[in-house]
Structure 1
C-alpha cells in the first residue's frame, strides 16, 4: 500500500471520530478500533465513500489484557503496519474511589494508561525501521491541574500520559529518530459523549460556553503539533491560560480553587 495508515482507538465517537475524519481528509488509510463495531462501520462507510481511502474496523475492548496484541495482529494479517497511532480511547469513571470496585479501577487504568503505552511500544520498532512515525496521546488539561475529589485516578493518569509523551518524544530525538514524534494532546472541555457516559452532562451544561471547544480545532491542534515534533499541546486560549495558571499559583490556592469547582460539577457521596 502506498498510503500511510493511522490507527485510532476510541474511534466510534467524539474526538476519536474527528481524528478519523481529519486523517482521512489528509489522504491516510485508517484502522479504527472501539467496542462498538456498528458505529465503526458507519464511520468507515462515510469516510471510504467521501475520500476513497481504505478503512479497517477492529472491534476490541482495551480493558482486556490481550487487546493490543489482537489489534496489531489483525493489521499484520492484512499486510498493514502503523505509521501513526492516536491513543484516544477513554472515559470518566462514575462514582468515587471509595464506592467503586477495584475491577472498575483496574480496567480504567488499563484502558487509559497501560494499553496506550503498550500500543506505542509495539508500533515503535516498525516506525524506527521505516524512519517515520507519529504518536498522539490524548491526555487532558486535568493532567496539569491539582487532583480533585471524585476524579481520583483521572488526573493522575492524564498527568502520566503527558510525562510519558514528553519522555518518549525526547528519547526518539536523542536516539536519532528525527521523523518519529510523540505528542500529548491536552484538551479541556470538548463537546463529545464523555460527560453523557459518566452521568455529569446536566452539571456540565451549567458551565460557561467559553469553557468549551468543538472537537475539530482540538484534533487539528494535535495533528499540527505532532508533525512539528511538539511534545505537548494545549488547544484553545482559555485552556492555555488555565494551564499556565496551574504553574504559577501557590499549590494550596490551586487545590482550593479546583476543590470548589469540583463540588459544583460533580456529586461526591
Structure 2
C-alpha cells in the first residue's frame, strides 16, 4: 500500500452511494479525494469527514460529461502528489424517455459520464496501482446490467452491462498485482437518483422490500472487492431476480421485463 492511510478517489461523491462510500472509507482510515459537480455539497461532506475521522480530504470539482475532465482531474492529482489506492467509479445518472425523445448531446453526455470517464480513469490510475502492488477499483454498475433492457432505459442498462464485462476483464488482468476490481451491482437504492430523473412518483410504487440503503450497498461492495470478487449483485432480492432471469428463455425474460418496466419506467 502506498501509505499508512490509503487514498480513495470517489466520483459522484456529493450524494447517494458516492457520499456513502466517502463515509465508509473515511471510517476505515482512508484519506479522500471527492469529485462531483456540486462544490458546496462536496465541501460539506469533506468537513464532516475531517471532523469525524481525521481524514485528509481534497475536493476537486469536475463535470465528467466534459471529455477533458478526466485528464484534467488526473493531472491535478499528479500535481499535488496524490497517489490513488482506491478508485470508486460511481458518477452516473439515468436519462428518462425513449432514445429518440432526447437530443443527441444528452445521450453523448450520458455515455461520457457512464462509460468513457470510468474507463479512462481506470486506464490512467491503474499503472501506478500495478507498480505499487496494491489497488482497489469499484465500478458501480447495476442489476440493470444483468437483466433485459427495457423501453425508456435505453443507454443506462447498456452502459452498466459494459461496466460488468470491463470489470471482469480488469480483475483477471490484475489479480497477480494485488489490484482487485469489482463491478458493484445494486438494485433500487434509496438516494436522489430518481429525483434527478423525474421518476420518483413511479419509484414510490415499488414495495419496500425491493429497496436497499446506500450504506448497505457500500458495505457489501467494500467487502466484495477486498475478497477479490469481480462482480457483486447486492442484496438477496436482487440476487434472486438476477438468477431468475438467467434461468428464463430470452423471449420470456424480455416479455416479463417489458411488462414490469411499464409500471415503473418513464417511457416517453
TM-score by length of 1: 0.97
1:158-237 superposed matches below 5 A: 158-173=160-175, 176-177=176-177, 179-237=178-236
CA distance in 2, matches of 1:128, 1:206: 46
Q: Give the conservation status (yes or no) of the 8 Å contact 2:153–2:265.
A: no
| Paired residue secondary structure (1:59) | coil
| Paired residue secondary structure (1:268) | coil
Give 1:82 shift: 0.6
* Matching residue within 105, 108, 116 for 1:106: 108
CA distance in 1, matches of 2:81, 2:220: 31
* Matching residue within 59, 74, 77 for 2:76: 74
**CA offsets, 1:57-98, max 9 Å, x none?**
010000111111111111222111110100000001122201
**CA offsets, 1:33-53, max 9 Å, x none?**
000000000000000000011
Corresponding position of 1:246? 245
Corresponding position of 1:13? 15
Structure 1 segments (4+ residues) deviating >3 Å: none
CA distance in 1, matches of 2:266, 2:227: 40
**CA offsets, 1:118-166, max 9 Å, x none?**
0000001100110000000000000001010011111111000000000
TM-score by length of 2: 0.98
CA distance in 1, matches of 2:235, 2:65: 31
Q: Give the conservation status (yes or no) of the 8 Å contact 2:99–2:152.
A: yes
Q: Give the conservation status (yes or no) of the 8 Å contact 2:17–2:90.
A: yes
Q: How has the CA–CA distance of structure 1 residues 3 and 267 changed in structure 2, closer, same or farther, with 3 Å as cutoff?
A: closer
The root-mean-square deviation of aligned C-alpha atoms, in Å, is 0.8
- Number of residue pairs matched by the alignment: 266
